[in-house]
Chains A and B, each alone.
Chain A
Amino acid sequence: MTGHDVVFVLVGLLTAGGAVLTVTSKNLMHAALFFAVTLGGIAGVFLPLAADFLALVQIVVYVGAVAVLFMFGLMLTRAPIGREALDGQNRGLAMAVAGGLFVVLSTLVIGAFGDLPTAEVTGPRIDDLGIAIFADWVLPFEVLSMLLLAALIGAIVLARRETGESGEELTVTRIEMAQDRDPDALEREQAALTSGSGGDGEEHA
């Protein structure tokens, strides 16, 4: 076993454990954090595979942006916490499908690639990558930039609060999540809000 193998096994175990905890965690935020751990682990897997640039892109895009976006998504859509509320009735079905798929796929993978000799890992140099992007892959690259622009505009249009033809804001119903909230809480909240804004005004003055 070479050093590459040792590093790969350690990081791979971390990644697999993070993935299992991501899909089974009872707590929403814990699931998102375990997802970030899994993504970081995948970036770590790229390193012994000699894909340094991809590892850095993985950290910047996934750990830096996508994981944070998911945490925003989870916090903005306040969902009940608890395994029964998070998982559906079909946990057994999911286990059967995923387990069966894993058995079939791993059998196929071992049958197809199990007898390959161990090869020295050689990755392309980063300047080769750059030349490949802007020589062989320049058309897909530009199409991808258009796709990102379209997704940006589409996400803004979808997530924006609806306005009518005149541009007036529609009235939005306030969603009250806690049914057993005590009735005085709203008044106390409002009082706190007004006193807070008063304090702000004095500061600005």
Chain B
Amino acid sequence: MSPIGPLLLATFLFCAGVYGVIARRNAVLVLISVELMLNAVNINLVTFQNLLYPGDPAVTGQMFALFIIGVAAAEVGVGLAIVFNMFRNRASVDVDDADLMRW
């Protein structure tokens, strides 16, 4: 199996995430797009581990992917809490509305 297929798929997913982050206005959908980008990086890490460095005893690529999954789960929790706070204060989750950096 050639590594070029998974790498191109990861590139495509990352660019879809970039598009979502820029184009979406709903803060939850922006978070979803960020998750898409993190998952694209995971595909890259697993591809490099299993196709290019299969004999690594420390399994570095897959370990990084596992840690990214854990950190991303924590990030979703805190990010959604911030979005809820924003919704409670402003009655809107529009990222274009949240441009006021003062009390």
Residues on A lying within 8 angstroms of B by beta carbon are 2, 4-5, 8-9, 12, 15-16, 19-20, 22-23, 28, 31-32, 35, 38-39, 42, 45-46, 48-51, 53-54, 57-58, 61-62, 65-66, 69-70, 72-74, 76-77, 79, 85-88, 90-91, 93-95, 97-99, 101-102, 105-106, 109-110, 113-114, 116, 118-124, 128-129, 132-133, 136-137, 140, 144, 147-148, 150-152, 154-156, 158-159, 175, 177
How far is it, in angstroms, between the C-alpha of A149 and the C-alpha of B67 when the chains are bound?
15
In contact, A54 and B18 (Cβ under 8 angstroms)? no
How far is it, in angstroms, between the C-alpha of A130 and the C-alpha of B44 when the chains are bound?
21
In contact, B74 and A136 (Cβ under 8 angstroms)? no
Query: Given known contacts A54-B66, A159-B85, is B23 in contact with A28 (CB within 8 Å)?
Result: no
Query: Given known contacts A48-B1, A86-B26, A121-B50, is B77 in contact with A132 (CB within 8 Å)?
Result: no
With CB as the reference atom, state the residue of chain B lying closest to A57.
B69
Chain B interface residue number, banded: 35 or more
Query: Given known contacts A23-B16, A74-B28, is B54 in contact with A154 (CB within 8 Å)?
Result: no
How far is it, in angstroms, between the C-alpha of A23 and the C-alpha of B24 when the chains are bound?
8
With CB as the reference atom, state the residue of chain A lying closest to B18.
A98
With CB as the reference atom, state the residue of chain A lying closest to B92.
A79
Query: Given known contacts A8-B6, A133-B63, is B28 in contact with A154 (CB within 8 Å)?
Result: no
Partner of B93 from A2, A79, A105, A155 at Cβ < 8 Å:
A79
Please provide the 3 A-B residue pairs with the shortest distance between their CB atoms, ordered closest to farther. A151-B74, A23-B20, A94-B22
In contact, B11 and A66 (Cβ under 8 angstroms)? no
How far is it, in angstroms, between the C-alpha of A149 and the C-alpha of B27 when the chains are bound?
24
In contact, A86 and B19 (Cβ under 8 angstroms)? no
How far is it, in angstroms, between the C-alpha of A94 and the C-alpha of B15 when the chains are bound?
10
In contact, A12 and B50 (Cβ under 8 angstroms)? no
Partner of A102 from B6, B15, B42 at Cβ < 8 Å:
B15
In contact, B23 and A155 (Cβ under 8 angstroms)? no
In contact, A86 and B25 (Cβ under 8 angstroms)? yes
CB distance from B57 to the nearest CB of A (A): 7
